[in-house]
Amino acid sequence: MKTFSATTRRQFIVTAGTTAAAVAVNAQTPAAAPAPSGPFKVPLLPYPAEALEPHIDATTMGIHHGKHHKAYVDNLNKAVAPHEGLQKKTLEQLIADIAFLPEDMRKPVQNNGGGHWNHTLFWNLMGVPGAAGIGGAPPDGPLAVAINGAFGSFAKFQEKFADAAMKRFGSGWAWLIAKADGKLAIVSTPNQDNPLMQGIVPNGDRGTPVLALDVWEHAYYLKYQNKRADYVTAWWNVVNWTAANALFEAAGKPAGKAPGK
């Protein structure tokens, strides 16, 4: 018969006791509550999480999309749950008309609806580096003509856009927008605000987003730490100019289905 030393017996007792305690705790811990169901869904990434390497790392993409974006969608669905009429609105209608929503809905939609819309656009304005129309050379087509006309050159546009991203204090976004007259402008918004938000964003900063850059720390901190400038520089390598061109050409036309719904 196999025997155990006193030390071995003590180790066995400690291990068995720890395991039993863990099982008991797990048995008493309720399962996580399911995500609120509702009309809004987290969109799939248009590329694998690792596809933007080395400029944006897979770990950041996984957390940013799977955790942060999901939280905005879950909270937005929770907010609209008591309001059947709001559940029937598109995401773009909700965020564009925040000032006209019931008072208790304005801040939840501003933060979570904005977060959902902004991120849905952000994912689609990036692509696999080196692919046609992604990063690298300046864009062509109508957007290139408009950028040169508004800023003098593509290099000057990049400089001004990066400056807006760097000067955004704390969390927020940098945007290239097409204003109502079709002219381009660079603006920046705090938190999850965006240039569609009537009554939230100053009228001079409102327009149709053509390009968007997330400068919240969760978008870059794992790879770039506090070096936001390095992140901004790297981001140019994954800009989807084909998508930006399409947004610019569509600006001013009747709105279709909003992203994210």
Decide if 206 is inside a domain. yes
Confidence at residue 36, expressed as pLDDT on a 0 to 100 scale: 62
Report yes or no on 184 lying in a domain: yes
- Residue 74 inside a domain? The answer is yes
CATH number of domain containing 212: 3.55.40.20
Whether 40 is covered by a domain: the verdict is: no
Q: What are the pLDDT tens digits along the chain (261 aa)?
A: 444 444 444 443 333 343 333 333 343 434 445 566 789 999 999 999 999 999 999 999 999 999 999 999 999 999 999 988 888 899 999 999 998 898 989 999 999 999 999 999 999 999 999 999 999 888 989 999 999 999 999 999 999 999 999 999 999 999 999 999 889 999 999 999 999 999 899 988 999 999 999 999 999 999 999 999 999 999 999 999 999 999 999 995 644 444 445
Residue 11 in domain: no
List b or e across 168-198, with b for residues whose CB sees 16 or more CB atoms inside 10 angstroms.
Answer: beeebbbbbbbbeeeebbbbbbeebbbbbbe
What pLDDT score was predicted for residue 37? 75
Number of CB atoms found within 10 A of residue 222's CB? 15
Q: Give the total number of structural domains in the chain.
A: 1
Q: Judge whether 5 lies within some domain.
A: no
**pLDDT for residue 137:** 82
Distance from C-alpha of 196 to C-alpha of 169, rounded to nearest angstrom: 21
How many angstroms separate the CA atoms of 69 and 91, rounded?
14
CB atoms within 10 A of CB 53: 15
Is residue 144 in some structural domain? yes
The domain of 189 spans: 57-253
Element housing 175 (H / E): strand 172-178
Indicate whether 222 belongs to any domain. Answer: yes
